[in-house]
Amino acid sequence: MKDVDPQRHAERMAIKQRIMNERIAQADKEQGLLLVHTGSGKGKSSAGFGMLARALGHGMKVGVVQFIKGAFSTGEEAFFRDLPNVEYHVMGEGYTWDTQNRERDIEKAEAAWEVARRMLADSSFDMVLLDELNIALHFEYLNLDRVLDDLQARPAMQHAIVTGRYAPKALIELADTVTEMKLVKHAFKDQGVKAQKGVEL
Amino acid sequence: MKDVDPQRHAERMAIKQRIMNERIAQADKEQGLLLVHTGSGKGKSSAGFGMLARALGHGMKVGVVQFIKGAFSTGEEAFFRDLPNVEYHVMGEGYTWDTQNRERDIEKAEAAWEVARRMLADSSFDMVLLDELNIALHFEYLNLDRVLDDLQARPAMQHAIVTGRYAPKALIELADTVTEMKLVKHAFKDQGVKAQKGVEL
């Protein structure tokens, strides 16, 4: 991109515009999407909450179930919890390594899934965010087939977002859009920097 | 993870908890972080907006400069623009392939950077989101050195988030935390699904 010719640049951009427009014209299927954010990098949950904000900006109704972070009073919860058009549930009792009780974890996950299931069966929700559901699936706190069945049975126009490391292969196959958040560099792990309010918490 | 022994599970989790706590105890540096979200996958901007929501949930003051998406009235803008503790600027006139005028793009990017620079020099901002700045850098609409200097000169406790594909190598080196959003699967591209409100727009 050094010293590009403005004329050539304009031509390239015109071609790109035409291709984009053709692609958009062809992409005429309207449907609710199943999105998965996984991988070991940052931003899986944050991207889910960003999409929530975007949906709210369009006047859509959203539901949130947090499957793991119950012990934390996070900034997201403080921010979204009492907004109009938001139903917000925090389940579980903190990270699993804080609970050390597999049976209680399973119980909490089951209760959380009941709430999620109700939202996934209710077409008044335009978007449902299932935060850290992948962790609950990874530890087999929930039956994967049941979860996939409930996701697939949701209203045709409803978007569902599933976040967390270790997304199961079958969920990735079912999903429409999957992003792997890949860790390139992490201040907290690499450089002895404390978890920062607004960024990590 | 098939049929784990609950006792063994509890032991592993206890070890993990100890390691986590040790790591957190050692990580006692407080500082503003420079975060970069790059890659060709979804969620780069969304994760930035999610962090914004989180910061607002903690009562922090945030600034946003959108470097590219000027021609769109996006959900994020509708949602965040008029909230308290938010200063929101949309620059540029839509995606570069819509403008076909390199000089105007440069002018717009320069004007956007002036706004960003003011926020980056103002310690009353706890977090500054520079959305799609990487694209402006990639097309060399802005001088990279100047941008990196301004980022580095910001107040010690201020977080800055830079999003967009094609993050320059020097920015990645300067950053504290870098995530590559990697495309695994994309409904829009792979399956002829229209860009969906609340998800893509």
Q: Report chain A residues whose CB lies below 8 A from the CB of B35.
A: 42, 199
Count of the separate structural domains present in chain A: 1
Residue linked to tokens 């979860």: A147
pLDDT in tens, A95-153: 455 557 888 888 889 999 999 999 999 999 999 999 999 999 999 999 999 999 999 99
Within-domain flag for A199: no
Domain range for residue A168?
32-191
Position B14 scores a pLDDT of: 74
pLDDT band at A68 (very low <50, low <70, confident <90, very high): confident
Pick from B10, B179, B184: which is nearest to A178 by CB? B184
B124 in Cβ contact with B61 (< 8 Å): yes
Handedness of CA B157, B65, B81, A32 (dihedral sign): negative
Q: Which of B51, B98, B182 to mutate to test the interface with A (most CBs of A within 10 A)?
A: B51
What's the CATH number where B159 sits? 3.40.50.300
pLDDT at B71: 45
**Is pLDDT of A69 > 70?**
no
Which site among A180, A189, A191 would you substitute to test the B interface, given the most B Cβ atoms closer than 10 Å to its Cβ? A180
Q: How far apart are CA A120 and CA A128, in angstroms?
A: 7
Shortest Cα–Cα distance, A114 to chain B (Å): 23
Query: Residue B49 and residue A54: Cβ atoms within 8 Å?
Result: yes
Q: How close does chain A come to B187, measured CA to CA in Å?
A: 5
* Structural contact between residues B186 and A38, judged by C-beta atoms closer than 8 angstroms: no
C-beta atoms of B100 and A17 within 8 A: yes
pLDDT at A46: 93
Structure tokens at A145: 């087939």
> Which token pair is B193?
């699904």
Rounded Cα distance between A164 and A14, Å, is: 39
Q: Is B111 within the bounds of a domain?
A: yes
Q: How confident is the model at residue A70 (pLDDT cuts 50, 70, 90)?
A: low
The CA distance from A133 to A74, in Å, is 17
Q: Please indicate, yes or no, if residue A22 is contained in any of the structural domains.
A: no
The single-letter code of the amino acid at A6 is P
Q: Is the four-CA dihedral A59, B60, B55, B33 of positive or negative sign?
A: positive
**Which residue in the set A14, A55, A185 is minimally distant from B178, CB to CB?**
A185
What contacts B66, CB < 8 A, 6 or more positions away? B77, B89, B90, B91, B92, B112, B131, B132
pLDDT tens-digit readout, A168-198: 999 998 899 999 999 998 766 555 566 666 6
A91 close to A66: Cβ distance less than 8 angstroms: yes
User: Cβ(A188)–Cβ(A195) under 8 Å?
Assistant: yes
Do the Cβ atoms of A31 and B196 come within 8 Å?
yes
A35-A38-A42-A45 Cα dihedral, nearest 10 degrees: 40
Positions in chain B short of pLDDT 70: 1-5, 8-9, 12-13, 16, 19-20, 22-30, 69-73, 92-99, 187-201
Cβ-Cβ contacts under 8 Å, B5 against chain A: none
| Residue ranges in B31-182 assigned as alpha helix (H) | 44-57, 75-80, 96-99, 102-120, 133-138, 144-152, 169-174
Contact at 8 Å (CB) between B134 and B165?
yes
Q: Which residues of B touch A42 (CB under 8 A)?
A: 35, 47, 177, 179
Which pLDDT band, with edges at 50, 70 and 90, does A2 fall under?
very low
Q: What is the pLDDT of residues A39-64, one digit of tens each?
A: 999 899 999 999 999 999 999 999 99
Give the distance from residue B95's alpha carbon to the nearest chain A alpha carbon, in angstroms.
Answer: 9
How far A115 CA lies from chain B's nearest CA (Å)? 22
Q: Which chain B residues have a beta carbon less than 8 Å from that of A50?
A: 43, 45-53, 76
Residues A75-84: what's their mean pLDDT?
Answer: 91
Triad A96, B55, B69: Cα angle to 5°:
115
Name the residue with tokens 């992490």. Answer: A186
**Cβ distance A44 to A183 under 8 Å?**
no
- B10 contacts on A by Cβ (under 8 Å): 100-102
Distance of alpha carbon A30 from alpha carbon B113, whole angstroms: 37
Cross-chain residue pair A60–B198, CB shorter than 8 Å:
yes
Lookup: tokens for B130: 């520079």
- Note whether A41 contacts B6, CB cutoff 8 Å: no
> Hey, are the CB atoms on B193 and A78 less than 8 Å from each other?
no
Residues of chain B neighbouring A27 (CB-CB closer than 8 A): 188, 192-195
CA distances from A91 to A73, A197, B8, B72 (A): 12, 22, 24, 36
Instruction: Centre a 10 Å sphere on the Cβ of residue A114 and count the other Cβ atoms it contains.
Output: 11
Pick A27's closest partner by Cβ from B43, B179, B195.
B195
Interface size between A and B, measured as CB pairs under 8 A: 300
Identity at B27, one-letter amino acid code:
A
- What pLDDT digit, counting tens, does each position of A10-36 carry? 776 677 677 667 656 665 566 899 999
